[in-house]
Amino acid sequence: MMILNKINSPADLKKLNNQELHKLSEEIREFLVNSVSKTGGHLASNLGIVELTIALHSVLDLPNDKIIWDVGHQSYVHKLLTGRRDRFDTLRKFGGISGFPKPTESEYDSFVTGHSSTSVSVALGMALAEKICPNGQPRNLRNAGSANPPDGLHKKYISVIGDGALTGGMAFEALNHAGSQQDIPLIIVLNDNGMSISKNVGGVAKSLNKIRVNPRYRHIKADVKSVIDKIPLIGKPLKLFIQNIKMVVKKLVVGNSLFKDFGLVYLGPTDGHNVKKLIRVFRKAKSLNKPVLVHVLTTKGKGYKFAEENPNKFHGIGMFDSKTGEIIDNSNGEPGFSETLGKTLCNIANQNKKVVAITAAMPDGTGLCDFAEKFPDRFFDVGIAEQHAVTLAAGMAANGKIPVFAVYSTFLQRAYDQILHDVALSNLHVVFAIDRAGCVGKDGETHQGIYDLSYLLHIPNMTVLAPSCNTELAEMLDFAINNMNSPVAIRYPRECSGEPCSTFIRENADILIISIGTMLSTAVDAAEILQSHGISATVINARFAKPLDLELITKHANGKKIIATIEDNVEIGGFGNYVESQLGLNIVKFAFPDKFIEQGDIAEIFEKYGLTAEQIAEKLVELY
Ligand SMILES: Cc1ncc(C[n+]2csc(CCOP(=O)(O)OP(=O)(O)O)c2C)c(N)n1
């Protein structure tokens, strides 16, 4: 029987010896490749973290101790080991298990994550909360620093953070704070694979890479070990002496590490695919009862040839053939919006030398790879640092460039103040190319792009556009770069349905429907259904969410029994609300409600929230 099939909780894992743990890692890898090839998901990161997760589960007392998985996309192994193996065929599906940690799914998931660089703050916050007694008196932590503080905290708090997530500013804010809390038993596990989604960028990544590839460290380590091994009966003092040399050498090589400067104990670097070594270093970290950083070196995609060779492709992947690594293509053949953005931007940048492109660690996802290759001096990958990206763009715009920041809607949320204070207040010409807007489907609650209209429409000076098809996106990008001189946001989802873009005017119609972005095809379909009920509807493709084409809208709103809006944003603060405030008329709004929207196929989600053409038409017939 497979060992994996006997593991239902960490207690089962603790019964295994080293050999069995090794076999378990192999079984987990095989399981993950097979399972994710059928559901899609974040494969490469999980293949890289198998031994690390096994070791943490072996050493810690879960669920009493708390692991916070940064981003959370690498929590599949953790899910497999905590009783969710049998539900893996439902991964990321409607009603199925989430691709991210979710406390409502399991007591072993201690916090929701999905967006990067939050784990150190969360773990530290949890630990500090435990430190404070219910009556507000601090717990006596005088004995912290000893192995078993009688009066110390009862739980361990662990942040598992990748070197990519470490590029986010919030992680550094938290490290800075953590170092000042010397009585807190915080363990930060740095899962360093040299990769974000693409190759990791920046100064810290460079310095980590030095440690990773430094042959001096590797050789010296091996030499010292072989010297120790060759001495048949060494006395304790000699052994200690040699070990001390090892430490000194390591300090010389690792140097005055950044983490030590933050006030953290630095352990490592440790081979992240050696369970025995990992268990040893985690035990040590646990015994210290103070803020510790354990530096673990792993290989993204480990053990699956295709993912090791191309971790970027297998970071987040759809269904694929596990034998060949080939993606099973079930797209509609239309280029996605990201591809159109990338191509159009290259064309525009050829003519307009002021154009620069910025990404926050998502060159692939946002379609900027060609641009990066063609215009290396005008391309900036800032790491997972959306806030910095926006203000960097503001600086560039203030000095004569036209920056285009291509970013997912959900990740731009964290740069709200930078958009408002650093870009809009000075009316700077920054273009936001907002990808994955609307419902994102399988990533679920943490990644829905259904808030951007609400966080952009009320910002003065901001123009907000939404294309209904690829042609419109290309035109809008050209307009935003070459015809505007103030902040512009263009928001669009991943998929382009390929429907022709049109404003669909019926003279003397009964109802006016105004749609924004790709909801146009739904609006046109709803109008057709209404027609079959004897109700005629005019459909306006708004294109501009702000400023509205009030002349056109008012002209067609005149005398209509019902004016409706359709959008893939939340209702509150969204397009319909904005139209209502500008027109001063009551609007029937079709939008997402005031709740977090779960994972599932986009069509399933639209149906659940009444956003299909049939449901919209039915509702309008009812109201008519
Ligand atoms: C705020 C934010 N921006 C972007 C992302 C998209 N994203 C998901 S994982 C990832 C790379 C993470 O790299 P790392 O932490 O090193 O983990 P690895 O996948 O290499 O294991 C990125 C950029 C995100 N989740 N959150």
Atom of ligand 1 nearest to the CA of 73: 9
Q: Is 472 a catalytic residue?
A: no
Report the length, in residues, of the chain: 624
Q: What is the whole-number distance in angstroms between the Cα of residue 403 and the centre of ligand 1? A: 23
Annotation says 414 is catalytic: yes
Task: Examine the pLDDT at 255 and tell me if it is beyond 50.
Answer: no
CB 136 within 8 A of CB 148: no
Cβ–ligand 1 contact at 162 (below 6 Å): yes
* pLDDT one-digit tens code per residue, 95-137: 999 999 999 999 999 999 999 999 999 999 999 999 987 555 6
**Active-site position among 302, 378, 414, 589:** 414
Q: What is the pLDDT of residues 296-308, one digit of tens each?
A: 999 999 999 999 9
Contact call for residues 540 and 515 (beta carbons, < 8 A): yes
If residue 550 lies in a helix (H) or strand (E), which one and from where to where? helix 550-557
Atom of ligand 1 nearest to the CA of 195: 20
For residue 329, the CA-to-ligand 1 centroid distance in Å is 24
Residue 538: strand pairing partners? 512
- CA-CA distances (angstroms) from residue 583 to 43, 364, 433, 555, 590? 49, 40, 28, 11, 17
Task: Report how far ligand 1's centroid is from the alpha carbon of 539 (Å).
Answer: 40
pLDDT of res. 254: 52
| DSSP string computed for 180-193 | T-TTS-EEEEEEE-
Summarize the chain as % helix, strand, coil (round to 5). Answer: 45, 15, 40
pLDDT at position 618 is 98
- 409 Cα–ligand 1 center, Å: 15
**Token pair for residue 88?**
């893996």
Residue nearest to atom 23 of ligand 1 (CA): 361
Q: What is the mean pLDDT of residues 617-624?
A: 97
Q: Which residue from 42, 49, 69, 71 has its CB within 8 A of the most atoms of ligand 1, so it is best to mutate? A: 71
Cα–Cα distance, 55 to 81 (Å, whole number) = 11
Q: Say how many Å lie between the CA of residue 198 and the centre of ligand 1.
A: 9
Cβ of residue 384 lying under 6 Å from some atom of ligand 1: yes
482 residue type, one letter: N
Q: What is the pLDDT of residue 331?
A: 77
- The tokens for 410 are 């959900």
- For residues 424 and 460, what is the distance between their CA atoms, to the nearest angstrom? 7
CA-based max dimension of the chain: 100
Query: Tokens standing for 289?
Result: 């009862």
- The C-alpha angle with vertex 268 and arms to 174 and 129, in degrees rounded to 5, equals 30
Give the pLDDT confidence score for residue 141 in this predicted structure: 60
The pLDDT tens digits of the residues spanning 308-339 come to 999 999 999 999 999 999 999 877 778 899 99
- Is 43's C-beta closer than 6 angstroms to any atom of ligand 1? no
Tell which one of 69, 100, 358, 384 to mutate to probe ligand 1, the residue whose CB is within 8 A of the most ligand atoms. 384
**Structure confidence at residue 215 (pLDDT):** 52
Strands across the sheet containing 355-359: 379-381, 355-359, 402-408, 431-435, 488-491, 463-465, 544-546
165 CA to centre of ligand 1 in angstroms: 6
Among protein residues, the one whose CA lies closest to atom 17 of ligand 1 = 162
In the block, tokens 């977090």 appear at: 596
CA–centroid distance, residue 584 to ligand 1 (Å): 43
The encoded tokens of residue 518 equal: 């790709």
User: Which of 53, 193, 196 to mutate to test ligand 1, by most ligand atoms within 8 A of the CB atom?
Assistant: 196
Above 60 in pLDDT, residue 597? yes
Question: Does ligand 1 have an atom closer than 6 angstroms to the CB of 193?
Answer: yes
Q: For the chain, give the percent of residues with pLDDT over 90.
A: 83
Distance from the alpha carbon of residue 466 to the mean position of ligand 1, in angstroms: 26
Tell whether the model's pLDDT for residue 241 goes beyond 60: no
List C-alpha distances in Å: 475 to 96, 367, 372, 485, 548: 39, 17, 22, 16, 18
Q: Which of 300, 491, 543, 589 is catalytic?
A: 300
Contact 290, 184 (CB under 8 A): yes
Q: Dump pLDDT digits (tens) for 37-92.
A: 999 999 999 999 999 999 999 999 999 999 999 999 999 999 999 999 999 999 99
Options 3.40.50.920, 3.90.1150.10, 2.40.50.100, 3.40.350.10; CATH of 511-623: 3.40.50.920
Give the pLDDT of residue 150.
Answer: 47
Is the pLDDT at 389 greater than 60? The verdict is yes
Lowest mean pLDDT among 28-37, 230-239, 267-276, 549-558: 230-239
Whole-angstrom Cα distance, residue 290 to residue 145?
6
Contact 361 CB / ligand 1 (< 6 Å): yes
DSSP assignment string, 589-619: EEEE-SS----S-HHHHHHHTT-SHHHHHHH
What stretches of 190-304 show up as alpha helix (H) in DSSP? Answer: 203-213, 215-230, 236-254, 258-261, 275-288
Measured distance CA(243)–CA(92) in Å, rounded: 48
Q: What is the DSSP letter of 336?
A: P
Residue 615 beta carbon below 6 angstroms from any ligand 1 atom: no
Whether ligand 1 lies within 6 angstroms of the CB of 359 is answered as no
Which pLDDT belongs to residue 333?
78
Rounded to 5 degrees, φ, ψ at 491 are: -115, 135
Quick check: 217 pLDDT over 70?
no
> Is residue 338 within 8 Å of residue 435, measured between CB atoms?
yes
- The pTM (predicted TM-score) of the whole model is 0.93
Distances (CA, A) of 257 to 176, 208, 247, 419, 465: 14, 10, 13, 34, 46
pLDDT value of position 311: 97
- From residue 19, give the alpha-carbon distance in Å to each of 24, 52, 217, 274, 483: 9, 16, 28, 11, 66
Using the predicted structure, report yes or no on whether residue 182 has a pLDDT greater than 70: yes
The residue from 386, 472, 567, 571 that is catalytic is 386
The C-alpha torsion from 313 through 316 and 320 to 325, rounded to 10°, is 30
| Mean pLDDT calculated for residue range 565-570 | 98
467: left (phi over 0), alpha (psi -120 to 50) or beta: beta
280, 334, 263: which is closest to 51 by C-alpha? Answer: 280
CA distance 576 to 398: 33
Query: How far are the Cα atoms of 413, 458, 460 from residue 464, in angstroms, in the given order?
Result: 15, 10, 11
Question: Among 141-145, 432-436, 518-522, whose mean pLDDT is lowest?
Answer: 141-145
Residue 573 has pLDDT above 90, yes or no: yes
pLDDT digits 0-9 by tens, 128-180: 999 987 555 666 665 555 554 445 678 999 999 999 999 999 999 999 999 99
Residue 45 Cβ < 6 Å to ligand 1:
yes
Residue 315 alpha carbon, nearest atom of ligand 1: 19
CA-115 nearest atom, ligand 1: 26
Coil, helix or strand for 544?
Answer: strand
Which residue, by CA, sits nearest to atom 4 of ligand 1? 384
| pLDDT greater than 50 at residue 220 | no
d(CA 233, CA 359): 58
CATH class of the structural domain 4-199+264-306: alpha beta
- Specify the pLDDT at position 206: 85
Mean pLDDT lowest among 124-138, 368-382, 598-612: 124-138
Domain definitions of the chain by residue range: 4-199+264-306, 337-491, 511-623
Q: In CATH, what class is 337-491?
A: alpha beta
Q: What's the whole-number average pLDDT of the chain?
A: 91
Does ligand 1 lie within 6 Å of residue 302's CB atom?
A: no
| Residue 508 banded pLDDT, cuts 50, 70, 90 | confident
Task: Give the model confidence (pLDDT) of 444-489 as tens digits.
Answer: 999 999 999 999 999 999 999 999 999 999 999 999 999 999 999 9
Tokens 């960097």 identify what position?
392
Question: Three-state SS string across 47-63, please?
Answer: HHCHHHHHHHHHHCCCC
Place of tokens 């530290």: 124
Query: Do 4-199+264-306 and 511-623 show the same overall fold?
Result: yes
pLDDT in tens, 11-34: 999 999 999 999 999 999 999 999
Q: Which residues contact 388 (CB under 8 A, 6 or more apart)?
A: 169, 360, 382
Q: Is the CB of 429 under 6 A from ligand 1?
A: no
Give the pLDDT confidence score for residue 301 in this predicted structure. Answer: 98
**C-alpha 71 – ligand 1 centre gap (Å):** 6
Evaluate: CB of 116 within 6 angstroms of ligand 1: yes
| Strands 511-515 and 402-408, bridge-based pairing | unpaired
- Atom index in ligand 1 nearest the CA of residue 161 equals 15
Pocket probe mutation, ligand 1, options 53, 116, 208, max atoms within 8 Å of Cβ: 116
Distance 300 CA to ligand 1 centre (A): 13
Instruction: At 523, list the tokens.
Output: 């609006």
What ligand 1 atom has the least distance to the C-alpha of 365? 6
Residue 298 Cβ inside 6 Å of ligand 1? The answer reads no
Q: Is the peptide bond before 63 cis (omega within 30 degrees of 0)?
A: yes
Looking at residue 467, what is its pLDDT? Answer: 96
